Amino acid sequence: MQRTYKYRLYPNKEQIRKFEQILNTCRHLYNNALTQRKEYYKENKKGLSRIKQQKLLKERKKENIYLKAVHSQVLQDVLFRVEKAFALFFVRLKVKDGKAGYPRYKSYDRYDSFTYSQQPGFKFTDKGLKLSKIGIIKIKLHRPTQGEAKTCTIKREIDRWYACFSCQANFPIKSIPQRAIGIDMGITHYAYLSNGKTIDNPRHLTISEEKLKRVQRRLSKRPRGSKNRNKQRIKVAKVHRKIKDQRSDFLHKLSRRIVNSFSFIAVENLAITNMVKNHYLAKSIADASWGQFLSYLAYKVEETGSKVVRVNPKGTSQICSQCDNRVPKSLSVRVHKCPYCGIKLDRDYNSALNILQRAIGQGLPESTPLEIANRQSLN
């Protein structure tokens, strides 16, 4: 399994200057590589390969002092990024019938990371993280990495710096109780579980919305290109970062609790891209980040040997979970009342039960005691 571990860096002023210089050099190299490919295609009517660009880079490096100041692995990774940008461009061309956007030039804000593709370009020491041509940097290792670190990416997030290590390791399978659970994602409640428990929606964006509006109003009044506007832009970005960090922390903790409590997890296969087209609910749906939560579940279950099954969400709230009869209702009706069997329960609870029932036929292990699982609470 491959995992990425992210740690906070605490570089000094000289190291920050080197980071910024490397990012600037990599950005210029990226943009020049795009130009090279454009001009080469115009002259030769065929694409310029990464291998040829690496040979040209080797020649340029002999004359350019800025390129000499950057480790060779970092420079080569830039050309890999260009190659990937064109590969994805050609994929989009096929999918979107020739309407895909051409790879863009990178501005200062759009190029914020550089990568050491292998050791010994980077390595851990007793004093911190040692990076080639930069030195030893203080790092907060809040948890140990598992497996050997294959790559190290240094990333700038506004005024903070992080190191992201991609590791390959075989994780020991954790022992998880044989329980099944169905999860209905919502807005009133973040999630309704098939055992009757609810997860409150923290609404991080809504809570911070007034502060965000205030700093954005101040930003709109600053003259474009001024230093004060740039300072205010950073303040706005910091508010967004705090919201993102709060949301990510909540989703990580929630997904971990669910994965550690249940061996079979049934969720909806939501078309979130289409759902956010509803301008009445778009902000609430985006704030909930259902897609991020589902992706967290998907990679965490790999460590436990558990299973996540996605089911078609169509009609899960319209069908009675008790008698399987269809009971049509509008979105404003929040209580499910079945005229056939007489059951009365929350609309989302009914939906969670239906999601679990649909997932049973898609791979529920025979050994799972479903009757017990439905009565278990989330630990």
Percentage helix, strand, coil for the chain under 3-state DSSP, each rounded to 5: 45, 20, 35
What sections of the chain are H helices per DSSP? 13-44, 50-61, 65-68, 72-95, 204-221, 227-261, 272-275, 282-288, 290-300, 347-360, 370-373
Nearest residue to 26 via CA among 86, 111, 141, 93:
111
More confident residue, 128 or 378: 128
Nearest residue to 372 via CA among 196, 178, 182:
178
**Mean local confidence (pLDDT), 124-137:** 92
Token code pair at residue 68: 């000499």
Cα 12 to Cα 153: distance, rounded to the nearest angstrom: 18
Nearest residue to 26 via CA among 126, 156, 145:
156
The domain locations on the chain are 2-168, 180-373
Q: How far is CA 268 from CA 103, 125, 192, 277, 294, in A?
A: 34, 45, 12, 18, 9
**Mean local confidence (pLDDT), 208-231:** 94
Q: For residue 353, which amino acid is it?
A: L
Q: Which of these ranges, 72-81, 156-165, 218-227, 316-325, has the smallest mean pLDDT?
A: 316-325
Q: Phi, psi at residue 130, to the nearest 5°?
A: -100, 120
Q: pTM of the prediction?
A: 0.84
Token code pair at residue 323: 């008698």
Model confidence band, residue 271 (pLDDT cutoffs 50, 70, 90): confident
The pLDDT tens digits for 307-362 are: 888 998 888 888 888 888 888 888 888 899 888 888 888 889 999 999 998 888 76
CATH match of 180-373 with 3.30.420: yes
Cα 355 to Cα 317: distance, rounded to the nearest angstrom: 9
